Amino acid sequence: MSNSLITTKMINTAAKHIRRAPYQALTAVLIMTLTFFVATLLIVLAYSTSTLLKHYETSPQVIAYLKSNATTEQITTLQRSLESDTRVKKVSFVTREQAMEIYKQATAGNPLLSQYISPNVFPASLEFSIKNLNFAQGLIDEVTKELAIDEVAFTASLGSSQNLPKVVERLTRISNYIRIGGAASLSFLLLSSLLVLLVIIGMRISSRRDEIEILQLIGATPGFIRWPFILEGLFYSTAGALLGWILGFLAVLYASPALSSFFADIPFLPTDVPALLALLGIILGGELLLAIFLGAIGSLVAMKRYLKI
């Protein structure tokens, strides 16, 4: 018999098994759906927190305000020094006029606030971002000591330099909670799903013991007997993964406008549709692989336990 015929026959047998006990099949698929729905949400959440942390780590953060009497040479030397520093990226010099423009844009809703202010009120500054937030405190201390520097501050999103370690620590902690908590809940759900699969395939094997005995007697190979059960397990897990992913996808689509609005400029989720689809596509691919692994393991363990051939 050609392999394709074996496969078609075995798929038909597996489909017959599923049709014959629809409630067991439904239970298995629903449990798998729940698992993969939660998995999809947790992966998106882990991605988002990671993006959030990365955003804070890499967005422009430090503003070194220059003294009014700082010389061009001092400023140039400091700027070059920062540009050559491996911890630093995106160094830019902001003049008083540019600072004034930034202020005007920030207070555009209330023109009175900028109406009578001259550029002289604003100090010139050197703005730069840091490649890794862990370097921040040391770098700030170094820059503060420079003669040309009056004061060092952080962007509004992070508050003052005193808050920096706390913000980083809090974000790292939240990120870790999500990763560890997510991994723990996901493991629990995966284990439950595996057990449900194992019990259901085990029940299937028990209820078909006579059939298995007949097949053995007339010379069916172990593969001929086992494959329909393996295919059944794979069907439950992949169908569950697909449904769970679809529900997760819908939940993310539903929540993304509100999240985007809340996080404003921070790219909590990919902002353009192709990037979001790519992210969810990668999640689907990973989940399907996991589902195949789970289905195969569940079926094989059930067969090892209940099918002695």
Window 224-253: residues binding another protein (CB under 8 A)? 224
Q: Looking at beta carbons only, is 6 or 178 nearer to another protein?
A: 6
Residue range at the interface with another protein (CB under 8 A); choices 1-9, 50-58, 189-197, 262-270: 1-9
Q: Looking at beta carbons only, is 201 or 212 nearer to another protein?
A: 212
Q: Looking at beta carbons only, is 112 or 218 nearer to another protein?
A: 218
Residue range at the interface with another protein (CB under 8 A); choices 198-206, 218-226, 262-270, 289-297: 218-226
User: Would you count residue 209 as binding another protein (CB under 8 A)?
Assistant: no
User: Would you count residue 172 as binding another protein (CB under 8 A)?
Assistant: no
> What distances in angstroms separate CA 89 from CA 18, 78, 118, 126, 174, one per listed residue?
59, 14, 30, 12, 26
Residue from the set 156, 218, 258, 264 that interacts with another protein by CB under 8 A: 218
Window 10-49: residues binding another protein (CB under 8 A)? 16, 20
CB of 215 to another protein, least distance (A): 7
Site for another protein (CB under 8 A): how many residues?
19
User: Would you count residue 4 as binding another protein (CB under 8 A)?
Assistant: no
User: Would you count residue 109 as binding another protein (CB under 8 A)?
Assistant: no
**Which residue shows structure tokens 């005193």?**
162
Q: Looking at beta carbons only, is 159 or 223 nearer to another protein?
A: 223
Instruction: Compute how many other C-beta atoms are within 10 angstroms of the C-beta atom of residue 217.
Output: 8
Helix, coil or strand: residue 87 = coil
> What distances in angstroms separate CA 191 from CA 32, 35, 184, 185, 307, one per listed residue?
11, 10, 11, 10, 21
User: Would you count residue 203 as binding another protein (CB under 8 A)?
Assistant: no
Q: Give the span between the Cα atoms of 82 and 126, in whole angstroms.
A: 9
| Beta carbons of 145 and 78 less than 8 angstroms apart | no
Residues 6 or more apart whose CB falls under 8 angstroms from that of 7 comprise none
CB of 17 to another protein, least distance (A): 10
| Beta carbons of 65 and 153 less than 8 angstroms apart | yes
* Nearest residue to 289 (alpha-carbon basis) of 251, 245, 225: 245
Residue from the set 51, 216, 256, 260 that interacts with another protein by CB under 8 A: 216
Q: Give the span between the Cα atoms of 113 and 210, in whole angstroms.
A: 87
Q: Which two tokens stand for residue 221?
A: 């190979």
Q: Which residues bind another protein (CB under 8 A)?
A: 1, 5-6, 9, 16, 20, 210-211, 213-222, 224
